Amino acid sequence: MFVADFRRDFYDVIVSQRVSLFVASDVDALCACKILQALFQCDHVQYTLVPVSGWQELETAFLEHKEQFRYFVLINCGANIDLLETLQPEEDTVFYVCDTHRPIDVVNVYNDTQIKLLIKQDDDLEIPNYDDIFRDDDGDDSGNESENDGSEPSGKRQRFDEGALERRIEKRRARRAWESRRQEILFDYEQYEYHGTSSAMVMFDLAWIMSKDSNDMLWWTIVGLTDQWVQDKITQMKYVTDVGILQRHVSRHNHRNEDEENSLSIDCMRISFEYDLRLALYQHWSLFESICNSCYTSATLKLWSVQGQKRLQEFLADMGLPLKQVKQKFNSMDISLKENLREMIEESANKFGMKDVRVQTFSVQFGFKNKFLASDVAFAAASLMENIEKDESGTDNFIKALDSLSRSNMDKLRQGIELAKKQLCAVQQTVASCICTNLIISQGPFLYCYLMEGTPDVKMFSKPASLCLLSKYLLKSFVCSTKNKRCKLLPLIMAAPLDVEKGTVIMVGIPPETESSDKKNFFGRAFEKAAESTSSRTLHNHFDMSIIDLKTEDRSKFVDALISLLS
């Protein structure tokens, strides 16, 4: 059931209990976790934090902790499956679920004892009515109406039997019609997967209601929302609306007059709303590298082609920026150039078809020196979480990513930014290679791309968020490069080797790259049906249903099944 009053029905209940906190491996979940940890610290709530990267880890973690805890808080996991059936908890176990995954499983919505949903109902949830999907049986259909001890006249008995039989047939017919209608309603409700309001925003709302919100919590909320936008999980409209909500909180927490401004202490923190550039990490890189490795500029200018490189040179010349300045670290650029940089870039970008180079965002300043955009931190935390450079466990990477969000850990954040640069370079090189070698094939109802074993950086793309980022950049670039109008409207399925020894691949499906895209993804259900119809050995272990693991030798029959299913 939906929790109406987060403070009374959630926080006041758990504040005196020991709580187990299961957190998914994504940046929004990390940010929501940081906010909740800060609240728990204020009120001395005892809790155990357990990172979970998929359904199997969630089930294992629950088995390990179910004896010691009665209350479980799940962040960005658990809403989109029947939790009670999956975890088989004791009757007194209570789950508080704060999850952006949609649609929410209807059993979770209508269970009012054990499942408590910490989810904003102003999101467009379109939950089916209870009576349309749940039905209390009217007892046994076979009934005893026709039984008779022989005391009634046979003619009367026959008429009675006929009436009872008709009623029973009518009842069964109504039952079948109801079942068929139920299937339709559930299919319509469950066919598309999408994302709702950021969990960090939901947790910040709780802190605000209790008057315990701080500037740090607000910054984590901004990073959580920005991650949804960077990972292309929400529409531009949703992003702008939520930015507007956070802008009011930023004004409330960060209004200072000029005198205070000049006496900023070395450890203080200030958040500002600003219109900035859609250039990844440019303040920590050179402007040239940022333009080359940001999806928006790279795709629009078609930088994988000779013509694209020529357009890049023209673009830089149009701005009047000397190459020497553009190719050195942003921090070392002439101050006079930096002061007008945004306006110069925006003006020239318009001439080169980049009308949306400007974006609403927030920046944070820690003391005098450290300034970061929200997207810098979102990229850094995501890269730390899926770091493959050291052979460390998922939990180690999770803790490092969590640490990078604290302002006492600037070194971790900078390490994440360096990793993010490597990741963005690898993504752009792979995009260029896929387009130049025609690796993207139109399979009829969708585009398909398979990264072969031995492709540079292929190990990086065995991780779900990295593969999703690559898929989205590749589809955007392909749409900009193809002249085929039909291909511009197709979704993309991408596969990469997962574990060569076990012979598995990881596969992701993403919706079409269109102006009006609502970010709704139908591949989750399609993958389930294709696996069922071909008996392919798949593992649906990711919290996003549109990402699956698959046996390498089943790949071609699985793709064939998808083609016939979606044609």
Would you say 412 and 452 are in contact if contact means Cβ atoms under 8 Å apart?
no
| Cα distance between residue 528 and residue 539, in whole Å | 10
254: Cβ–Cβ under 8 A, 6 or more apart, which residues? 215, 270, 271, 272
Indicate the residue type of 247.
Q
Alpha helices in 358-442 (DSSP H): 374-385, 394-403, 410-436
Query: Higher confidence at residue 391 or residue 230?
Result: 230
| Model confidence pLDDT, tens digit, residues 449-459 | 999 988 888 99
Segment (H or E) for 510: strand 504-510
pLDDT confidence band for 272 (50 / 70 / 90): very high
| Cα distance between residue 340 and residue 358, in whole Å | 14
> What's the pLDDT at 144?
46
Closest CA to 395 of 26, 41, 53, 2: 53
pLDDT confidence band for 123 (50 / 70 / 90): low
Indicate the residue type of 208.
W
% of residues, the chain, pLDDT over 70: 93
What is the DSSP-derived secondary structure letter of residue 104?
P
Closest CA to 484 of 443, 442, 449, 530: 442
Looking at every residue in the chain, the average pLDDT score rounds to 89
pLDDT at 146 over 90: no
pLDDT at 527 over 80: yes
Residue 348 Cα distances to 206, 309, 345, angstroms: 43, 16, 5
pLDDT at 145 over 60: no
**According to the per-residue pLDDT averaged within each range, which of 150-154, 340-344, 391-395 is highest?**
340-344
pLDDT at 291 over 80: yes
Segment (H or E) for 441: strand 441-442
| Cα distance between residue 491 and residue 565, in whole Å | 14
Beta-bridge partner residues of 373: 363
E strands, 203-289, are 269-277
256: Cβ–Cβ under 8 A, 6 or more apart, which residues? 270
pLDDT at 140 over 50: no
Residue 527 Cα distances to 53, 82, 437, 464, 550, angstroms: 20, 19, 27, 16, 10
% of residues, the chain, pLDDT over 90: 69
Asked, as a colleague might, if the bond just before 456 is cis with ω within 30 of 0, I would say: no
| Model confidence pLDDT, tens digit, residues 471-501 | 999 999 999 998 888 888 999 999 999 998 9
> What's the pLDDT at 462?
93
> What's the pLDDT at 158?
58
Would you say 98 and 120 are in contact if contact means Cβ atoms under 8 Å apart?
no
First CA to last CA distance, the chain: 38
| Cα distance between residue 381 and residue 375, in whole Å | 10
pLDDT at 21 over 90: yes
